[in-house]
Amino acid sequence: MKKKILITETILRDAQQSLIATRMPIEDMLPILEKLDKVGFYSLECWGGATFDSCLRYLNEDPWERLKTIKKYCKNTKLQMLLRGQNVLGYRHYADDVVEYFVQRSAYNGINIIRTFDALNDIRNLKTSIKAAKKENIHVQAAIAYTTGEVFTEEYFVNYAKQLEAEGADSICIKDMAALLTPKATINLVKALKKAVEIPIQLHTHYTSGLASMCILEGMAAGVDIVDTALSPFAQGTSLAPTESIVAALQESAYDTELDLILLNEIRDYFINLREKYIDSGLLDPKLLVSDTKALIYQVPGGMLSNLLSQLKQSGQENKFEEVLAEVPKVRKDVGYPPLVTPTSQIIGAQALYNVVLGQRYKMCSNEFKALVAGKYGRTPVSISAEVKKEIIGDADVLDCRPADLLQPELNNLKKSVKEFLKTEDDVLTYSQFPEIALNFFKHRS
């Protein structure tokens, strides 16, 4: 039975996020956008995730202008973004009115598919973003943050998928950000999900452990409908499986993608030159291009690896990289096995770094780490022990409700506090996500 496999190309977002810490400016994308649009991808993942922060913080770009520019040149391909549920694109929970308005403006400016996920797989934190996307009549893809550990059984993932479908998701993504899937685990999980839900299943798996291409092929045989890949100059290592290789592997098979390999190789040539530029400038560290099965032990996602390495380099302690990686699963176990994906990956990665660099566990804890332990990000998959809570937050109260239930509407106050700098409808949302950086950007822009 023939089944055409659909491809989401990630080079404009996740691939460059994983390999060059999201530092690809719009001017490096512009010359190739029209060719990317001609390929016939199911979608182009080009926005959300860390792109928003990077545009403002490092590239002096308006992220909304970037989205509009990509839309202008990619008229035929659906544009996809990554949204962190109630965290939107920032690192805290936002009131429902901010989440709703962000989704509305994303759709207005060109987004066709929103992939929304919660770092703790707490469905309460996805309800608002799913409802808002449905209201805008765009495709809402709810993602399951895939991870391993005693609680993460097939039953756990199936139960979550059923909840997501019932909530209104149009498709489900298995989001394997830390490259923890093995071919066998992929077969079993995909088969279980296909049996449990009626909506399409998309597979997103990183190459960090070297297994991504194998997982994709096995996933297709098990029933996956869409897969995420990255054009080869920004593939493998901590990124994703190479697009051209997957397309070539499936030619004349039951899963033929029907994409043009000649056109893909023309696009590849453009990105090869870009890659050389990033290697020469030091943005692309060759260490991140090597597969490492230690990912299966440390459970660290690609973007987190590049960030940790960068932070250690800045403080001249690159030699402690392995030690920090070994500390990550210990911290994760202490605080209830949260999947390692933004923002929990940054929170736990930073804590592992403090523990190692300061030579004493939990001597210093970030406010975000304390908030995670106090339930302010939602419910962790496993309960945190009383001893760990005591050590990290003392006798502070622990939340058990949806964190956003405690937040008052905040959009109007945000508008008032930044009124003098607002030039577009979207500026208030930029300010909501990264107030300090946004203000600097607005001042520079004026």
Query: CA–CA separation, 46 vs 106, rounded Å?
Result: 12
376 close to 395: Cβ distance less than 8 angstroms: no
From the list 55, 306, 30, 296, the residue with the least C-alpha distance to 176 is 296
Q: What is the pLDDT of residue 309?
A: 81
Angle at alpha carbon of residue 174, lines to 171 and 179, rounded to 5°: 155
pLDDT tens-digit profile, the chain (446 residues) = 789 999 999 999 999 999 999 999 999 999 999 999 999 999 999 999 999 999 999 999 999 999 999 999 999 999 999 999 999 999 889 999 999 999 999 999 999 999 999 999 999 999 999 999 999 999 999 999 999 988 899 999 999 999 999 999 999 999 999 899 999 999 999 999 999 999 999 999 999 999 999 999 999 999 999 999 999 999 999 999 999 999 999 999 999 999 999 999 999 999 999 999 999 999 998 888 888 887 787 777 666 777 788 888 888 888 888 899 899 989 999 999 999 887 888 899 999 999 999 999 999 999 999 999 999 999 999 999 999 999 999 999 999 999 999 999 999 999 999 999 999 999 999 999 999 999 999 998 87
Beta strands in 160-313 (DSSP E): 171-176, 201-205, 226-229
245 close to 217: Cβ distance less than 8 angstroms: no
Superfamily of the domain at 287-404: Conserved carboxylase domain (1.10.472.90)
Which of these CATH numbers, 3.20.20.80, 3.20.20.70, 3.40.50.10440, 3.40.250.10, describes 6-281? 3.20.20.70
Amino acid at 269: D
Q: Which two tokens stand for residue 126?
A: 């996805």
Q: Which two tokens stand for residue 415?
A: 């508008």
219 close to 186: Cβ distance less than 8 angstroms: yes
Q: What is the pLDDT of residue 302?
A: 62
Q: Which two tokens stand for residue 251?
A: 């030619």
Query: CA–CA separation, 163 vs 123, rounded Å?
Result: 8
Query: CA–CA separation, 13 vs 72, rounded Å?
Result: 17
Query: CA–CA separation, 336 vs 245, rounded Å?
Result: 38
Residue ranges of the chain that CATH labels 3.20.20.70: 6-281
Q: What is the pLDDT of residue 316?
A: 87
Q: What is the pLDDT of residue 310?
A: 81
Amino acid at 17: Q
Q: What is the pLDDT of residue 303?
A: 65
Q: Which two tokens stand for residue 89?
A: 């694109």
Cβ-based neighbours of 16, under 8 Å, separated by 6 or more: 22, 23, 24, 234
Could you report how far apart the first and last alpha carbons of the chain are, in Å?
A: 59
**C-beta atoms surrounding 262 within 10 Å:** 6
DSSP per-residue codes, 318-337: GGGHHHHHHHHHHHHHHTT-
37 close to 48: Cβ distance less than 8 angstroms: no
Query: CA–CA separation, 248 vs 261, rounded Å?
Result: 7
Q: What is the pLDDT of residue 307?
A: 76
How, if at all, do strands 6-9 and 139-145 pair?
A: unpaired
Q: Which two tokens stand for residue 423?
A: 């030039």
Residue ranges of the chain that CATH labels 1.10.472.90: 287-404
- Residue length of the chain: 446
Match 């909304």 to its residue by tokens. 64
Q: Which two tokens stand for residue 164?
A: 């997501």
Q: DSSP class of residue 207?
A: S
CA 52 to chain centroid, in Å, comes to: 12
Handedness of CA 398, 85, 96, 167 (dihedral sign): negative
Query: CA–CA separation, 101 vs 179, rounded Å?
Result: 33
